[in-house]
Structure 1
Amino acid sequence: MNEPSQDPAACAALVPPAVRRSAWPALVVGMLALVALLLPLYGSLAGHSYAVVLASRILVFALAAVGLNLALGYGGMVSFGHAMYIGLGAYVVLICGSIGWVNGWLQLGVLLVTVVLIAAVVGWISLRTHGLAFIMITLALAQLFYFLFVSLRAYGGDDGMSLAAPSGFGPLTGSPTALYYALLAALALAVYGTLRLVQSRFGLVLRAARVNERRVRAVGTGPLGYQLVAYVLSALVCALAGFFLANLAGFVSPAYMNWMVSGELIVMVVLGGVGTVFGPVVGAVALLLLEEVLKLWTEHWPIVFGPLVLLIVVALRRGLWGLLPGGREE
């Protein structure tokens, strides 16, 4: 009897072939990128400084949604605990700043080591389960960290705490425009990295495991290692979003780790198009802009917001990105 192949390319037959390419997704991405690049100039000329702040907040959650999509959309890991990594990224900035480590690159190094260690342990435990059990264990572990940081009175406890100083990056420190462009660059790199990753052999195995883990094992490839790496990378991107969120708000709170934030991230991914490279960005933009518009319209906006998002998600099963010709390509 022939031994099963160890080549990840053997998983190719398990992944549906991509449809013919369309120019529409690239055109939409180009238009959104142009608007994003020119937005600070518009805010400066028109005197609308809030536009840059709002756009920065949208970019933070778009970055986190792209990170979650790597685990949820391509790995099939429905995590209700990714807000924990946003909070960890924010608390790294707060704690490092409180002990005098204000250099931004140093903080990013601490963030990298901390999140990799925690995400590797959490992922290894969680991936021993499947389905509803995976959802519940990620939620439980995230809530454990949430209550841990609530109990840290030295860092504000449940009330949170303001940053002693923003992350230091030389002359760009504290500049809202510089922070905005840094966020935009990080989001672009995350989207490009996701695209390259899912088109690689690694992504092939990951997507095949999402379809049928048993068949992946049958061709001689163990999916657990691939899923764990994807989970850790996903957590790192969310933690990077938390790093930017702390510097944007100048404030850190355990509320960043709340399970409801994880739920909002899932809604962004599903709304934009789960399992698409650029869909989570569109979902984050659409959800947060809709929230802002409804706030201007009525003070009871949550009553309208919830059912409206639910209707959109149910009606657009492929997400907003899936409305474009070729928008479902991976």
Structure 2
Amino acid sequence: MTSPSRDKPCCVGSTLFGFLPESIQWRSVRTIAALLLIALLLIVPMVSQWLGQSFYLTLATRIVIFAIVASGLNLILGFGGLVSMGHAMFVGIGAYVVGISSFHGLQDGWTQLGLAVLITMGVSAITGLVSLRTRGIGFIMITLAFGQMFYFLFVSLKQYGGDDGLLIAQRSQFAFLPDLNNRVALYYVTVAVLLIVMFLIWRVVHSRFGYVLRGFQSNEQRMVAAGFPRLRYQLSAYVASAVICAIAGVLLANLTLFSSPSYLSWQASGDSVLMIVLGGMGTVMGPLLGTAVFLLLEEALSGMTQHWMAWIGLFIFLIALFSRKGLWGALIGLSSKGVKS
């Protein structure tokens, strides 16, 4: 097996200041669908204002934040084949860094973000080194165990609300960024973070690192035989994935003005996995589409029936059964019929 080449056009060829690959098809169905989805995100505040319903803007902000979480987890799940059931702990770490620092009078957002990233890098490096020694169900169970350990750790912090959670007095203050107390500003900041995360993931998976990571997902034995260190690549992806989730946790705390142990629960980790499966594993846009559909269905069905989770479960099952790439794959497949890109 030959090693992934650095000379591939999709890895290093560029047209726009070295950022966009030459092989991108600007008139393809996939690109047009992605641009339309992003355009929908950008007009949400205007639609919310036109309808006179600020709730829609709050819901959209929540969707974007959890899309960041799903995108981070998708880096190791969709592109690395690592099913983590403990990634919600990194969201909780980010949220509690904001809550605890605010409790002690620290309101500077950049300091809070830096602390969240540093703590998450340390925790994810340690838990990743342990978890990645295993495979398959062993990896799932160990990440689940770590997630539950941190869940009960924050439940035990009675000074910071314990099981009831911790109220946050005010939102973080980021120098050179708009005031997050403005809901529209908060929304556009979260959208900007999401777009940056998706762009970076897209670049990573089309780089040498991304090819190697996907190679381990396809055939680990051949990659090891070719001389690639599995632990180094997968641990790097695991830490990067955790940091993305922690950043989402910082944003979530600023949205809700609350830090809760429920952010770290295994159910929260499971929901992120479902969002990825629904949207499309191993795709960049899939987590965003899956998160939007999942949370919108949850919002609509929870007011109609007590068994809304069963209906969502059935819907996800059907999508996973008939579309290998989830809703994103189905959307691209239907749109490309009869269309030449």
2:251 aligns with: 244
Q: Structure 2 vs 1, CA of residues 209 and 268 (structure 1 numbering), >3 Å: closer, same or farther?
A: same
2:279 aligns with: 272
TM-score by length of 1: 0.91
Judge which range, 198-207 or 292-301, deviates more.
292-301
> Retained in 2: the 8 A contact 1:205–1:223?
no
2:120 maps to which of 109, 115, 119: 115
1:56 maps to which of 56, 61, 82: 61
Give unpaired runs (5+ residues) of structure 1.
13-18
> Retained in 2: the 8 A contact 1:57–1:245?
yes
- Measured in 1, the distance between the counterparts of 2:314 and 2:36 equals 30
1:220 aligns with: 227
Q: Structure 2 counterpart of 1:182, which letter?
A: V
3-state SS of 1:9 partner: coil
3-state SS of 1:293 partner: helix
Q: Structure 2 vs 1, CA of residues 210 and 300 (structure 1 numbering), >3 Å: closer, same or farther?
A: closer
Q: Structure 2 vs 1, CA of residues 56 and 20 (structure 1 numbering), >3 Å: closer, same or farther?
A: closer
Q: Structure 2 counterpart of 1:33, which letter?
A: I
1:89 aligns with: 94
3-state SS of 1:320 partner: helix
1:177 maps to which of 173, 184, 190: 184
- Measured in 1, the distance between the counterparts of 2:302 and 2:326 equals 24
* Deviation of 1:301 (Å): 2.5
Q: Superposition RMSD on alpha carbons, in Å?
A: 2.2
- Measured in 1, the distance between the counterparts of 2:313 and 2:133 equals 33
* Deviation of 1:45 (Å): 2.6
2:37 maps to which of 22, 32, 41: 32
Q: Structure 2 vs 1, CA of residues 130 and 42 (structure 1 numbering), >3 Å: closer, same or farther?
A: same
* Deviation of 1:326 (Å): 10
> Retained in 2: the 8 A contact 1:271–1:319?
yes
Q: Structure 2 counterpart of 1:106, which letter?
A: T
Asked if 1:9 is matched to 2:33, the reply is no
> Retained in 2: the 8 A contact 1:24–1:326?
no
Asked if 1:133 is matched to 2:138, the reply is yes
3-state SS of 1:81 partner: coil
* Deviation of 1:300 (Å): 4.1
Q: Give the paired residue count.
A: 317
2:261 aligns with: 254
Q: Structure 1 counterpart of 2:101, which letter?
A: C
* Deviation of 1:318 (Å): 2.5
> Retained in 1: the 8 A contact 2:204–2:210?
yes
Greater relative contact order (Cα < 8 A, sep 6+): 1
- Measured in 1, the distance between the counterparts of 2:334 and 2:231 equals 31
* Deviation of 1:143 (Å): 0.4
- Measured in 2, the distance between the counterparts of 1:94 and 1:58 equals 21
Q: Structure 1 counterpart of 2:77, which letter?
A: L
1:285-304, aligned counterparts within 5 Å?
A: 285-304=292-311
> Retained in 1: the 8 A contact 2:283–2:325?
no
TM-score by length of 2: 0.88
Q: Structure 1 counterpart of 2:47, which letter?
A: Y
